A and B are shown apart, each in its own frame.
Chain A
Amino acid sequence: MTMARSTRWLLIAPAIIYLAALTQAPFVLTLFYSFQKWILTSPELGVTFVGFENFGYTLFQDSTFRAAVLNLVLITAGIVLLSLLFGMIFALLLHRKFPGQGIARSLAIAPFFVMPTVNAVVWKNLLLNPVFGFVNYFTTRIGLPRVDILAAFPKLGIITMAVWQWTPFMMLILLAGLQSVPDEIREAAEVDGANPWEEFRYITLPLLGPFVELSVLLATIYVLQLFGEIFVATQGGPGSATTTLPYYVYETISQANDVGTSSAQGVCAVIIASVIATFLLRLLSRTFKVAKA
């Protein structure tokens, strides 16, 4: 079907212009600010063009920045891979027909709806608190030492909270994938004498390929922006153990009021996110093609 060009434009343009104004335009400004020296709380210093000074400082002098990038990569990778693993287990379990399947699925996706700050207050206090938390009650009962996970293993603590939240996300996409695998194929494999592991490894998993790919890609893009959990549970600490790039940008603008440096960090964050997304897209589609062949 066709549509007059002018009608088309009238229908599409408002949305495009709105999006451009609120996402592209601010990013261009971020780029612009990243070449300026501008401290919000010191207006007497004015705003001056400093070339690549902010980038030079960020990339070569600021060790916290490097730590923040490394933390971001480690925490994101941990969250995505563990969520994928648990999501796959839940998807396989919930794909089977059993009494109460509907309710079980509804309960299993619930963590995904919980807002990040509630997730963090609940885990930090009710579950992981070293004295009154449920997890420590449980672990000390079976003879393990009492640990303050968020103090002793802060990255693990953050990863745990986020994995709890993102497992249902992975599960949902993989469940949709499992539903698209025709039962006949798997039944045929069973008839041919494949054990459940072989059936999963050689039949289900390759057919799930595109869904695994999609879930990893989307989760990575979202998890790279993880912020609320860190803001509430650790404030980037102890030290800078859980300071990821988004949290560091937040600190630079809200505490140091440094527009230039925080903009340079923001530009780096966008570049890193695009590089990771592009790399992941290539890698995943290649592995999947190999698996298919």
Chain B
Amino acid sequence: MTGRVRDTLLTLLTYLAVLAIFFPIFWTVLAGFKTEGTAVAQPPVLFFGPTFENFREALTNANYTSFFFHSVTISVVSTFFAFLLGIPAAFALGLFPTEKSAGTLSWVLSTKMMPAVGVIIPLIIIFKALHLFDSLAGMIILYTAINLPLVIWMMRSFFAEIPKDLIEAARIDGADTLHVLVGIAVPFVTPGLAATALLCLIFSWNEFFLVVNLAGPNASTLPVYIAGFMTSEGLFWAKMSAASTLAVIPVFIAGWAAQRSLVRGLTMGAVK
């Protein structure tokens, strides 16, 4: 087999493999535009007159919009707080490492490795006692903690890339730590900041274990809404598909925007 033929065949194989792995998403989006009858039709229907009814219905469903609102509030606010707490720490650990820094970072990572089932029982009891159960504030407090290790590790790796001369020069000019952090370091790592924020948003948006255990109608997010479809409306595939599509679209946008830094985030800054 000549190199050219092999190359073409491998490319075709690649296209097929990619279509196969993307197919479930394509099929779901498509089902969102079907009527309930077309959605369950056998053989499966590929071409049909699309309806926007399912999407309209999801977006005007008071339940759905309130879960959507919870998702947005919890993920945005918790990302903000994770930055507020994490950036100063990452700045100190990345630009001014001491012999203790490695230990601190490992400890931070170990908190991320802690299985959620190891903390869920006390959280349920404490949240109920403090009236944080089923509240946006409670979920924000928790998601801040989930995102904090990611912010510290990832931002540390970005801060560590700032040329030391730049920081030294500013300090010689008399800038105090706050000015170095806000005026020089943070502007220098803006792309990293954006990527980290997007990853935090994705993880908060998709989190399920904590929210299903600690929230009810007042603070539940979209993953819980979708899970509810199985019990209440499991047979309405088109509606379910439209709701699912709307729930994952924000993550796709965030994920594709952060694609270049995705590996760095997923490996806590280990792979650049």
Contacts and interface: CB of A to CB of B under 8 A. Distances in A.
B120 A253 contact: yes
A15 B108 CA distance: 9
Interface string A245-256: 110011001100
Given A1-B96, A227-B209, A122 B117 contact: no
A11 B88 CA distance: 5
A123 B24 contact: yes
A266 B227 contact: no
A98 B11 contact: yes
Contacts of B205: 115
A64 to B, nearest CB: 15
B64 to A, nearest CB: 14
Interface stretch (A27-35, A181-189, A197-205, A282-290): A27-35
A2 B107 CA distance: 22
Contacts of A22: 119, 141-142, 145
A26 B123 contact: yes
A25 B111 CA distance: 11
B115 A224 contact: yes
B76 to A, nearest CB: 17
Interface string A101-131: 0001111111111111110111111110001
B85 interface: yes
B17 A125 contact: no
Interface string A218-232: 100100110110011
Given A109-B262, A232-B227, A90 B24 contact: no
Interface stretch (B51-59, B186-194, B243-251): B243-251
A121 B167 contact: no
A263 interface: yes
A253 B121 contact: yes
A112 B255 contact: yes
A89 to B, nearest CB: 7
A8 B97 CA distance: 10
Interface in B201-235: 202, 205-206, 208-209, 212-213, 222-224, 226-227, 229-230, 234
Contacts of A267: 118
A150 B252 CA distance: 28
**Residue with the highest number of chain A CB atoms closer than 10 Å, among B24, B40, B145, B240:** B24
B208 A117 contact: yes
B21 A108 contact: yes
A167 interface: yes
Contacts of B121: 29-30, 33, 249, 253, 259, 262-263, 266
A240 B239 CA distance: 30
Interface stretch (A55-63, A151-159, A168-176): A168-176
Contacts of B74: none
Interface in B2-33: 7, 10-11, 13-15, 17-19, 21-22, 24-25, 27-28, 31
Nearest to A211: B271
B152 A99 contact: no
Nearest to B226: A117
A243 interface: no
Given A15-B152, A90-B17, A270-B115, A137 B145 contact: no
A96 B15 CA distance: 12
A16 B251 contact: no
A250 B117 CA distance: 8
Nearest to B128: A40
A214 B227 contact: no
20 contacts: A3-B92, A26-B122, A27-B118, A29-B126, A30-B122, A93-B14, A98-B10, A115-B206, A117-B208, A118-B223, A122-B244, A124-B230, A126-B24, A176-B272, A232-B227, A246-B115, A249-B117, A249-B120, A269-B115, A270-B115
Given A23-B114, A227-B209, 17 more contacts: A11-B92, A12-B104, A24-B111, A25-B122, A27-B118, A29-B125, A30-B119, A105-B259, A115-B205, A117-B226, A137-B44, A164-B24, A173-B267, A214-B271, A249-B120, A250-B120, A253-B121
Interface of B: 7, 10-11, 13-15, 17-19, 21-22, 24-25, 27-28, 31, 40, 42-44, 85-86, 88-89, 91-93, 95-96, 98, 104, 107-108, 111, 113-126, 141-142, 144-145, 148-149, 152, 164, 167-168, 177, 202, 205-206, 208-209, 212-213, 222-224, 226-227, 229-230, 234, 237, 240-241, 244, 247-248, 251-252, 254-256, 259, 262-263, 266-267, 270-272
